[in-house]
Each structure stands twice: as C-alpha cells, then as structure tokens.
Structure 1
Amino acid sequence: MITRRTVLGTVGLSALGCALPGLTRAADRELEPEYLDDRLKARSLPPLNERLPKRPRIVGLKTMGRTPGRYGGTVRTIIGSGKDVRLMTIYGYARLVGYDEHLVMQPDILEAFQSENDTVFTFTIRDGHKWSDGSPLTADDFRYWWDDVLLNKDLTPGGGSLDLRVDGKLPRFEVLDALTVRYSWERPNPNFLPGLAGPQPLIVVGPSAYLKKFHKNYQDEFRLSALMKENRVKKWADLHIKMSREYRPENPELPTLYPWRNTTAPPAEQFVFERNPFFHRVDENGRQLPYIDRFVLNVSSSSIIPAKTGAGESDLQATGIDFADYTFLKDAEDRYPVKVDLWKMTRGSRVAILPNLNCGDDVWRALLRDVRVRRALSLAIDRHEINMAVFYGLGKPSADTVLPESPLFKPEYAKAWIDHDPHKANALLDEAGLNNRNDDGLRLLPDGRPAEITIETPGESTVDTDVLELVTDHWRKIGIALFIRTSQRDIFRSRAQAGHIMMSIWYGIENGVATADMNPQQLAPTSDDQLQWPLWGMHYLSLGQHGQAPDLPEAAELIKLQNSWRETAHMAERTAIWHKMLAIFTSQVYSIGLVNGTLQPILRSDRLQNVPKNGLYGFDPTSYFGIYMPDTFWLSEEQA
C-alpha cells in the first residue's frame, strides 16, 4: 500500500481575498516598507505585486496569538566570531519545508510537497518566486544544483550528504516542468524532509543564474582564472564553494531566499543584514515580511558577551549567555529598556557525563563497557544537589532522554538509574570486580592502579566545572577519584576520537523534543562526534571503511534498530522503534544524564514585539529562534 501525503503551503488566502498579486499600485505603495523608498522611486526595484510570488505564504499572526506589526528598525545582536554570521541562516529559518511551533512539518519556500511512502518526493515551486536579486526561482535552479554541483566530483567529492543517500545510493532526480521537481529512491528515505527542515539544512537548490559564472562548465577559462585570482583561490571548485556557501553567508553578492541578506564581506567587526525585498511571506494584512529592516551582528570576545548584553548593547540575545548570567541580566532590566525571559532548553540533559567506550586504556575500556560500572557511577550522583546548587532548583533530575514535551516521553526513561543510592552503587562496583581499596579508600583497578577518572571538558561554560566539583565529592564516596582536564574544543574532540579521553562532560542528546518522524540516530553510534563511542560512530559514518564496528550487543542492536527505522514509512513501526531505542539507551546508561528542562535566558529589547515569553530553545529541531519566525518580530515606536 502506498502512503501518499500531500501538503499545501499557502494558507489563510481568504484573509487577503486571494488578490494580493493584483493590488493597485496605490494600495501596493501603502504596503511597501519605507526602507525601500529610494529604490522604488529610482525604479531599481519593482513594486510589491511584482516582487511576491503569485501565491505567497500567508502567515496568520492572530491565529498564532501574535499581533500584526509595523515596518522598520534595526535589531542588534552580539556574536563571538565572524563565523557566527551563520546564526542568521538559523534564525531566518526559511526552508523548502520547515517545522512550525508545534514541530509539524509544512511547506515554506515550496508551495506544496507530496511524499509517497518516503520514497518519492514531488516538490511544487511557488509561481513567481524570486531570489533576493530578483532572478526567478525555478526548477532549473534545482537542476543546476543536482547536475552541476552534487554530481560534480570536484565540488562534491564525497558523493553528497548522507541525507541524500539510501544504502549509499543517490536518488533519481527529475524536472517535471518549470515549477515541479521530483526525487525518487528505491527504498524509503525518512531523513530527506527533516534534513531540509534542519538548522543546518540540506541544500538541493542554488541561484544558478549567479553561480554559473563561477563554474567551469559555464564560464570561459580566462574569466574564471581572473575570478580565482581576485578571490585568492587556486582551484575553480574552491571558488564556487566560496561564492555559493549558504549556511555561513559570507558572500554579500550571493542571492538568497532568507528574510535578510548579508551586506558585509569578512573580515569585519560588524555584519549588517538588510531586508530581502523579494521574501515570499506576508502577514494577513498583505504586509510583506520581515517587519524589521536590518539585523546588525557585532563581533565580540565570547567571554564578554554577557557583560555587553547586560550593558544594553544587544536587542535580542541568547547565544553567548547562560543560565549563570540570569541574575545579572535580570538586573539590567532596571537600567536599560530590556526584558529577560527564560525558555526551556531542548537537550536531553543540560549536562551529561559521557564514558568513552572506545578509550585507549585497555583496563578502563573494559570497565566502562561493563553496564554495572556505568550504572554505579550514575547512582552515586546526587542530582537534587546539582539541580539546587547550579540551577536553583529550576531543572529536573533526569536521565539523558527526551523531554515531556516529546510525544515519545515515558517517565521510566527519565528515571532510569538516577536515584541517589551510594549503597547500591558500591555493591555494583564490587560485583564488577572493583572490591579492593588502597589506604586512601580508593578502589583498585585489576592492574593495581587506583581508580582515578579524568573527565575532560572544552571549558566553554562554568556550569561544567561547577557540576564536576559536586560529582567529585559524590564519586569519592564510592571510592572513585575524579580529576578535571580542560582543553580547547578542537583538541578536545580530536583527543576523544583518538581514544585519549576516558570520559567527557558535554550536553546530552541534541533533540529532546523528538517525534517518531525524526531520525533516532542520536541514540545509536552513528557519528564520529558522539563522545561516548566515536570510533563506532566513525565506522557507521564511513560505511565500514574506518573506525570499529560496535562489539557490545546492545550498541549493535541500536544500530540495527536505527537502520530498521530508516526502512519503514509507517508511523506505528517508527514509534515502536523509537521506544525500543530509548529503553536500551537509558537502561544501558550510555550517557549519564544529570538535569534537563533547564532554562536559557532570552534578552530582548522592550520594544521588540512578538517574541514569545515562553519557548523551546535548542539547535535541533527548533533552530533557536527559527521556528518562532523572527521575520514576524517587530519594533514598537515606544517602550512596551
């Protein structure tokens, strides 16, 4: 039986009488942002009815509990380095298909999409949709990216994203007409749509009219050589990659489909993003989004972002600040016209301790692969004390698992091996063969060494060290000594992959609000950046070419279940697979979760409207502010 799902992306047409593209020029001008006046008067920019698709995406703000806004203004935010211009790709959250606030997938840039058993995906492009330079968005832009980028070995030597491959094979791509394209696999690819909707989206389309001048198939050799010299690259492929990079939008000339476009080339201390006059969304009153004219990103040292934020130098800030800064930022409300709210973080655990099952020390590797040792380490931790001392009691002691906001949540997952029970922890360690101690009360390893665990951290948050100081006392009571080592993030990750790290402290699972339609790969060894099993993850990622295959039955079962999830398009089967994986992951304590449901400070200008007071904050799947549509945020003339 074929399961066919067709989703249309134009809603609320009755609010505009279905007549927006046919507006008179007088009415058209009333809907125009003042920011574009000079270009409109000079006729270097067409009027609104010629800039919008024939059927734009209509955002019903009132039905979302928000208010239609006014045009204008600049919003400042602070970033830790020039690379963080990528935040505008995440915040802007314009996707071919994307999640709404309830994490339901819907068309966005696309007018509609149809999925047949997750094997055949048909996309309908909005008629009249344009890139930010006014060039049309058509099926040829999808064809260019497919034929000339993804299938070009110079530009895509690895054969394309894993989200595009099933059993290592790419799909069949077809152009059905000027506004319709299709991707077909022989077996289901449930990763495809979530990949397109993600915070770092899968790219399958590009502005071909612009990019062809950097491609050897379309540009003459002399001109291409001159462009390479001008942009200081030695290969034409490096030139194309540099000029086409969408996720980190450093090329001001690159046409975009996002609500704001970068106008500043790096390096710079300040990046200015201005409104995209061809953006495809409007509110129920026919006013084109975004409301805000400009985003200004000021580069600063990461260590002083909290101080600058508290000094009134940001109008919208979440990155670079943490819960430890909340009291200081809240005090800023008395000095500056700002408000500070707390959103719930979507991680499975705000802090998790990750035993490296691939560590290079033979003795410790064997011990950490013993589930009794992992469970004992978990039971020895007093999570209530950590929650009260570090998170002021606002979090919830929990294993590293999905949150109650996820339809997959079960209390038994959250409660797995989290009771503070040093007596039981001691008994488990005795059973595991660690029943001898030295004169200092430390347990002795099978080779006679004292049981000393070094936990490594990238040192990017004081929360990590605050937590570890408490865990040091907890583990000392069961005869385990804990030491802390700090290193830079790149060194930290490379040491983990090389097996030099015994244990690390990091966040818990990325997506704590998952649905059964989302890939459960975070629960299985599927990536080399998973710190508890990097070599097993590398083996999966490289299709068995590198790393090591899992040799623990339960870990191998997680891989098997994850592959089964990929092969089915039935919701009931996917849900059952998720629950099996969550049960194994929490029972086996592959990640020692501590506290989840912790809070993230969100500082905003008092004038900034439509920013939810409560929200879910995380990278995947909510894209930080992304699913709350910052293009609908607006600045009032007066303080709220």
Structure 2
Amino acid sequence: MTISRRHMLALLGSVAGATAIPARVFAAFSQSDYLAQIPTETPLPPIEERLPKTPRVLNLAERGLKPGRYGGSMRMLIGGQRDIRFMPINCYARLVGYNSDLKLEADILEAYEVENDRVFTFRLREGHKWSDGSPFTADDFRYVWDDVFHEKKLAKGGPPAGLMINGKPPRFEVIDARTVRYSWDDPNPDFLADQASPSPIRLMFPAAYMKQFHMRYQTKELLAQHIARERVDDWAALHQKMSRVVRPENPNLPTLDAWRNRTAPPAERFVFERNPYYYRVDENGLQLPYIDKVMLDVSSADLIAAKTGTGESDLQVTNLDFADYTFLKNAEQRYPLKVDLWKRTQGSRMALFPNLNCKDEGWRNLFRDVRFRRAMSLAINRGEINKAVFYGLATESSNSILPDSPLFKPEYQKAWAAFDPDQANRLLDEIGLAMDDSEGMRRLPDGRLAKIIIEITGESTFETDALELIGDQLLQVGIKIYPHVAQRELLRRRVKGGDAIMSVGGGLDNGVPTADMAPKELAPTSDDQLQWSIWGLHALSGGSDGKAPDLPEAKALLDLYSEWRKAEGFDQRTDVWHKMLALFTDQVFTIGIVNATLQPVVQSSKLQNVPSKALYGFDPTSYLGVYLPDAFWYDEETA
C-alpha cells in the first residue's frame, strides 16, 4: 500500500502526545467525584467500562503542561443563546485534529490510513461510547451515509458538496464494526483537513438515538407526537432540530465532546456537564476533562468586557477586543484575573470587499479593473490606522498570510499595501475617472460621482474608527465612502443578491496555513466570500447555481485550486500555494489593512494550562480548541 507523504499511516503510538495506550498500562483509571452527583436512572458503570479499551492519552508534561486535579465550574459569558455554538468548536473532539503545532493527529479515531489521497480508512477505538453510554461504532457512520446523505427529505442534493470530487461522491464501506472507508477515484487532499476544521462535515450521528426521529425507523404515530412536541412542520425538520451539533441546543443528543449541554433553550445560563464516557485521559490515567462544568451565562454583548473586568467570567475571549485591553489589565489589580494577549490569525483584521458580482454595472466594471482595486489600496494610509486604532502594535499588510506560516513571503504582505496617493491618482486617471474639482470627487464613466456605500455590521468600534480614517484618505484621491450599518445576516443577503456594492469583513480566516491545508479561501469557492459570492456559489453547488467566474484572474485561481487538489506530494502543493498567493495579493481582490492584531484572553488566576501566548482564530485553531480546554484545571492553592 502506498501512503501519501503528508498522511503517513497513523498507527497506534505513532503520533507524539496522542498515543493510544492499552488499559493494562495503568494500574487503575481515575474519575471525578462529581460523577457520583449526576442523577441517573441506573448507576454508571465503572470507569474501566466507560473508557475505550485504548483511550487517547494526552501526555501533558511532554506538551509543557501540568497534569491537573479534578473539580470546579468554569464560567464564561456569551452574547446570546446562539453562542452556545462556541462549545463544540472549543471542545474540539474530532476524528482527526490539529495539535498546537498545527499538525494532524488521530483524536477520536484510534488510527487512520491514507492511500494516495484517495482512500481513507478510519479505525475506531474499541469500547468507545457516546455520552449516553450507547456504543460508538461503524453503524453511526452508516446511518449518516445511508439515512441522511441519501434521504432526499434530509439532503436534497445528496452528499455534501465538500465530499464531491469532480462531481462524484466517495464510495463508502463498512469494513467491520470498528472500521469504515471512504474512497474517491480522484484525490481529495483536504478531506482530513476538513475533519480537523472548526465545523467539519458531520460523518457520524448517534444512530441509536436519532433513529427515533427518522421515518425509516419510527412509526408515523410516534413521529407525529415528536413533531407536535417540538413544534416543527414535518419529520425532516424534526430530525434536523434534534441532530443539530453546530449549535447543541438538544440536551438529550449524545455527544463525544468533553462536556454535554444539560439546558434546553430559552435560558439565561447554559450548563455543560462533564461527559462520563469521554475518551481522553492524562498520563496518570485521570479521565478528562478536569473541570466538571462549564456555565455559559447569556449577557448583552456590549457588557461582556465590563462584566469580565469585574470577575464574572473565569475564561473569556469572545466579545473582547484589543480596545478593552487597558481596562481589563487594570482589573488584574482588583480581581483574581490574568490578562494575556494572543495573536489573531486572520489575514487582515478588517478588509474592504469590492463586490465583483454587484448588480450596479458601472461599479461592477470598475471593481473588475485591477487598476481601481490597486488604487484604492494605495490610497489607504495603513500606518496612520495602525497607530490610531491599534497603538502601532499591528502589522500593516495586504489581506495575506502571517509570518507564522511556512508559506509566508514579504512580497505577499507588501503587495499594493504601501501608502502612495500619487500612484493611486495616476491609476485612477489612467482608467478615465476624471476629477470634478467643484465636487472634490471623481466621476464614473456614466457621469455619477464616485460615491461608494460600504456595508458594515457596526459590531466593532475599531471598524467604524478605521473607516472614518479610510474615508478621509480615499477622499484625497476623489473617492467618497458612506458606511451603512446592517445586521450581519442582512449584509450577507445584500452581498449575495448583488445589492451591496462594497462591504467590510474579516480577512482570510486562516492566515497561518501550511501547504497541506486547502487554499480554497484564495479562489471563488463559497457563497460566503463577500468579493465574489455568485462565483463562489457556482463552485459550491457543483455548477448547479450561481455563475462561473468570467474574470480571467479569478478563473485562474479556481484552476489553480483544482491543480492543488490533484497535486501529488508536498512540494507540488507548496508550489501551487505560492502561485495562488502571488496572484491573489497582486490582484487585490480584497483590500487588507492590518493583521497580526492582538486578542485579549482573560482567565481566572487559578486556572492552569491556558497558554500565555498563542494563535487565536476560527480556522485552523478552532479558537481555544487546539490548546486542549479539557486539560484546563483549577489550582486552588494559586493566589
């Protein structure tokens, strides 16, 4: 069997810090005393019967962490009930996942094999169980494949687009009760990276629980009762509601995460309780997590920084920004808090997105002219914005990757990012946008003044502060901008509908990629990309919706992404990444401002194993996920 270079056979014990150790290595496993307090219809089995035969052993000392003790409840603040979605991201239980060095390793899986990026064989841990004690087996994968992906009422288009390679789904096989296989005719090099992502394609459901909500396994009479109780329209909506993993609102849904939700919405406090069947242990045989409960208290997003600064949160990252740092740092003198700064991984903390698919023909034609995009970028004084908004601590950059990435080159960072209003004016003159001196603005070819309405969410004060400076700077080259505040979902609908001319958002989610991570953010691959959502929808839907890109450079990026997917070996993938980064930054499809900005992380002074320095972002770190929150613990002896 031939194994791809980047995915060598993940045999037992082959991944540092993730070694699968048979139970007999430990004299005895240990569990939290809290489990005795959990009300159950029947007593919990002994710890040895709740753990897999080969649990995942986290050797914390090898990672520079301290093995801990059990106990405690960790309070966190969220800006609304929907924000319980952060829990499965932070828990970060994945079939395969990234470690803190952003290298893949087996996690839920005991082992995996990859053959030429086409055949993926997953081996489950013997005796692994869901949080309700039901077995976690190959049937949970079969259920999703047969009864979800191939049930038209649940998946109208069949398997998710992320599993379709050249229009074809994989072949799925159940090898035995603990082994499943996904096979494609063509390479699928980002299959494992997707499974390690913050929100992976869900390949398994707790089948024993979910069958009661599926028409193939439940009587019409009982389904009708469930539908009425949950106040949904039909059994498909029922199944979707009861199986929702991204936002875990169903307290009865079994999970593999470290903590399970025990609170049904609506609520002001959501309590996540330790999973008695969790599959990880530390090097001393203590079943993780160390902390018994995580309590998410709902608050107004605007008040979270103030509440955090008065000691109402034991670990807080969300709804905090760098502007809060001084206040939070001063709070260390009054409350048992510790405030650190992590580096955000976005390609740009904020970026301008000219909508290349907007309905306005005049602006659409201008945005598709690279000279206009470059002129806008050159007219922005990033140094002034950095000093005024980020105290000079950020890095002035295009929307590109950070030096923390092995793919980084200074030319990507600097592409059209210098402050050069003279060159910007020359480019605008070259396009034919004449300056109307009486108005102090340029005119479009159709005679309109160069006025751009920029859609923003208004959720961050730094965006409005930065836009005020950007507005003054752009006016110097004859372009006037008008920020328009819109709720996030409305903004995205306006962009996708072509009604928004330009918008503001975060830059590249993953600013610290390796060559083995998919460069899909650089090409039109998703309808969430604000600069070309219609082109992205076309790729996302497999050509059934949206429109194919008709701009040569955008099409070239899409072709390069296809080339990356077919590349054989690390060197070829690296070469494609550099071609895409060079083209993406040179074409200025998005206008970055600064990156490597700092994110406050506030923790109780008693909380252990939280890094003082780290990378922070949605992808690839899954916010706190790669830093093992299940290994955080309270040292009551620490002041």
Q: What is the TM-score when the length of structure 1 is the normalising length? A: 0.96
**2:210, 2:239 within 8 Å by CA — same for their partners in 1?**
yes
| Equivalent residue, structure 2, for 1:413 | 412
Amino acid in structure 2 at the alignment position of 1:521: K
Amino acid in structure 2 at the alignment position of 1:529: D
After TM superposition, give the deviation of residue 439 of structure 1 in Å: 1.2
- Closer, same or farther in 2 for the Cα pair 1:39/1:267, shift >3 Å? closer
After TM superposition, give the deviation of residue 160 of structure 1 in Å: 2.4
What 5-or-longer segments of structure 1 have no aligned partner?
A: none
Are 1:550 and 2:553 counterparts?
no
Q: 527-536 or 38-47: which moved more?
A: 38-47
Amino acid in structure 2 at the alignment position of 1:7: A
| Distance (whole Å) between structure 2 residues aligned to residue 461 and residue 554 of structure 1 | 32
**2:161, 2:542 within 8 Å by CA — same for their partners in 1?**
no
After TM superposition, give the deviation of residue 16 of structure 1 in Å: 11
| Equivalent residue, structure 2, for 1:155 | 154
Are 1:51 and 2:55 counterparts?
no
**1:21, 1:50 within 8 Å by CA — same for their partners in 2?**
no
| Equivalent residue, structure 1, for 2:11 | 8
| Distance (whole Å) between structure 1 residues aligned to residue 185 and residue 19 of structure 2 | 42
- Closer, same or farther in 2 for the Cα pair 1:259/1:9, shift >3 Å? farther
**2:22, 2:53 within 8 Å by CA — same for their partners in 1?**
no
Q: For residues 61-80 of structure 1, what are the alpha-carbon distances to aligned partners after superposition, in whole Å with 9 as ceiling and x for unaligned?
A: 11111100000000000111
| Equivalent residue, structure 1, for 2:316 | 317
Amino acid in structure 1 at the alignment position of 2:609: N
**1:97, 1:106 within 8 Å by CA — same for their partners in 2?**
yes
Are 1:451 and 2:450 counterparts?
yes
| Distance (whole Å) between structure 2 residues aligned to residue 317 and residue 8 of structure 1 | 37
Amino acid in structure 1 at the alignment position of 2:192: L
| Distance (whole Å) between structure 2 residues aligned to residue 539 and residue 14 of structure 1 | 41
| Equivalent residue, structure 2, for 1:256 | 255
**Identity over aligned residues, as a percent?**
57
| Equivalent residue, structure 1, for 2:105 | 106
Are 1:593 and 2:592 counterparts?
yes
Are 1:401 and 2:400 counterparts?
yes
After TM superposition, give the deviation of residue 621 of structure 1 in Å: 1.0
Q: For residues 530-551 of structure 1, what are the alpha-carbon distances to aligned partners after superposition, in whole Å with 9 as ceiling and x for unaligned?
A: 1111221122222223322222
SS in 1 for 2:216: coil
- Closer, same or farther in 2 for the Cα pair 1:61/1:425, shift >3 Å? same
| Equivalent residue, structure 2, for 1:78 | 77
Amino acid in structure 1 at the alignment position of 2:528: D
| Distance (whole Å) between structure 2 residues aligned to residue 94 and residue 228 of structure 1 | 30
Q: For residues 444-478 of structure 1, what are the alpha-carbon distances to aligned partners after superposition, in whole Å with 9 as ceiling and x for unaligned?
A: 22122222222110111111111011111111111
| Distance (whole Å) between structure 2 residues aligned to residue 11 and residue 253 of structure 1 | 36
Q: Please show how residues 512-531 of structure 1 align to structure 2 within 5 Å.
A: 512-531=511-530
**2:522, 2:557 within 8 Å by CA — same for their partners in 1?**
yes
Q: For residues 251-296 of structure 1, what are the alpha-carbon distances to aligned partners after superposition, in whole Å with 9 as ceiling and x for unaligned?
A: 1111110000000011111100000011111111111110000000
Amino acid in structure 1 at the alignment position of 2:606: R
| Distance (whole Å) between structure 1 residues aligned to residue 411 and residue 165 of structure 2 | 34
| Equivalent residue, structure 2, for 1:573 | 572
**1:405, 1:513 within 8 Å by CA — same for their partners in 2?**
yes
| Equivalent residue, structure 2, for 1:339 | 338
Aligned length: 636
- Closer, same or farther in 2 for the Cα pair 1:9/1:260, shift >3 Å? farther
- Closer, same or farther in 2 for the Cα pair 1:2/1:19, shift >3 Å? closer
Q: 603-612 or 143-152: which moved more?
A: 143-152
| Distance (whole Å) between structure 1 residues aligned to residue 237 and residue 361 of structure 2 | 43
Q: Please show how residues 301-316 of structure 1 align to structure 2 within 5 Å.
A: 301-316=300-315
After TM superposition, give the deviation of residue 570 of structure 1 in Å: 2.0
Q: 185-194 or 39-48: which moved more?
A: 39-48
Q: For residues 289-322 of structure 1, what are the alpha-carbon distances to aligned partners after superposition, in whole Å with 9 as ceiling and x for unaligned?
A: 1000000001112121112112211111111111
After TM superposition, give the deviation of residue 43 of structure 1 in Å: 6.7
- Closer, same or farther in 2 for the Cα pair 1:41/1:212, shift >3 Å? closer
| Distance (whole Å) between structure 1 residues aligned to residue 289 and residue 19 of structure 2 | 18
| Equivalent residue, structure 1, for 2:242 | 243
| Distance (whole Å) between structure 2 residues aligned to residue 125 and residue 622 of structure 1 | 24
| Distance (whole Å) between structure 1 residues aligned to residue 569 and residue 273 of structure 2 | 43
| Distance (whole Å) between structure 2 residues aligned to residue 539 and residue 16 of structure 1 | 42
| Equivalent residue, structure 1, for 2:601 | 602
| Equivalent residue, structure 2, for 1:116 | 115
Amino acid in structure 1 at the alignment position of 2:603: R
Are 1:436 and 2:428 counterparts?
no
| Equivalent residue, structure 1, for 2:490 | 491
Q: Please show how residues 344-359 of structure 1 align to structure 2 within 5 Å.
A: 344-359=343-358
Are 1:182 and 2:185 counterparts?
no
**1:312, 1:336 within 8 Å by CA — same for their partners in 2?**
yes
After TM superposition, give the deviation of residue 376 of structure 1 in Å: 1.0
| Distance (whole Å) between structure 2 residues aligned to residue 487 and residue 606 of structure 1 | 39
**2:51, 2:277 within 8 Å by CA — same for their partners in 1?**
yes
Q: 590-599 or 222-231: which moved more?
A: 222-231
SS in 2 for 1:407: coil
- Closer, same or farther in 2 for the Cα pair 1:428/1:625, shift >3 Å? same
**1:9, 1:108 within 8 Å by CA — same for their partners in 2?**
no
| Equivalent residue, structure 1, for 2:274 | 275
**1:207, 1:255 within 8 Å by CA — same for their partners in 2?**
yes
SS in 1 for 2:155: coil
Q: 140-149 or 608-617: which moved more?
A: 140-149
Q: For residues 568-598 of structure 1, what are the alpha-carbon distances to aligned partners after superposition, in whole Å with 9 as ceiling and x for unaligned?
A: 3422111111111100110011111110000
| Distance (whole Å) between structure 2 residues aligned to residue 627 and residue 283 of structure 1 | 16
Q: For residues 495-514 of structure 1, what are the alpha-carbon distances to aligned partners after superposition, in whole Å with 9 as ceiling and x for unaligned?
A: 11122222111111111011
| Distance (whole Å) between structure 2 residues aligned to residue 3 and residue 268 of structure 1 | 49
| Equivalent residue, structure 2, for 1:20 | 23
| Distance (whole Å) between structure 2 residues aligned to residue 541 and residue 338 of structure 1 | 45
- Closer, same or farther in 2 for the Cα pair 1:442/1:43, shift >3 Å? closer
After TM superposition, give the deviation of residue 10 of structure 1 in Å: 4.6
| Equivalent residue, structure 1, for 2:164 | 165
After TM superposition, give the deviation of residue 2 of structure 1 in Å: 3.9
**1:198, 1:623 within 8 Å by CA — same for their partners in 2?**
yes
After TM superposition, give the deviation of residue 3 of structure 1 in Å: 3.4
- Closer, same or farther in 2 for the Cα pair 1:611/1:548, shift >3 Å? same
After TM superposition, give the deviation of residue 480 of structure 1 in Å: 1.4
CA RMSD of aligned residues (A): 2.0
Amino acid in structure 2 at the alignment position of 1:637: E
| Equivalent residue, structure 1, for 2:377 | 378
SS in 1 for 2:129: coil
| Distance (whole Å) between structure 2 residues aligned to residue 17 and residue 109 of structure 1 | 11
| Distance (whole Å) between structure 2 residues aligned to residue 501 and residue 639 of structure 1 | 53
After TM superposition, give the deviation of residue 494 of structure 1 in Å: 1.1
| Distance (whole Å) between structure 2 residues aligned to residue 511 and residue 279 of structure 1 | 29
After TM superposition, give the deviation of residue 41 of structure 1 in Å: 11
- Closer, same or farther in 2 for the Cα pair 1:476/1:601, shift >3 Å? same
| Equivalent residue, structure 2, for 1:584 | 583
After TM superposition, give the deviation of residue 245 of structure 1 in Å: 1.3
- Closer, same or farther in 2 for the Cα pair 1:562/1:14, shift >3 Å? closer
| Distance (whole Å) between structure 1 residues aligned to residue 571 and residue 626 of structure 2 | 26
| Equivalent residue, structure 2, for 1:533 | 532
Q: 407-416 or 436-445: which moved more?
A: 436-445
SS in 1 for 2:332: helix
**1:21, 1:52 within 8 Å by CA — same for their partners in 2?**
no
- Closer, same or farther in 2 for the Cα pair 1:2/1:13, shift >3 Å? closer
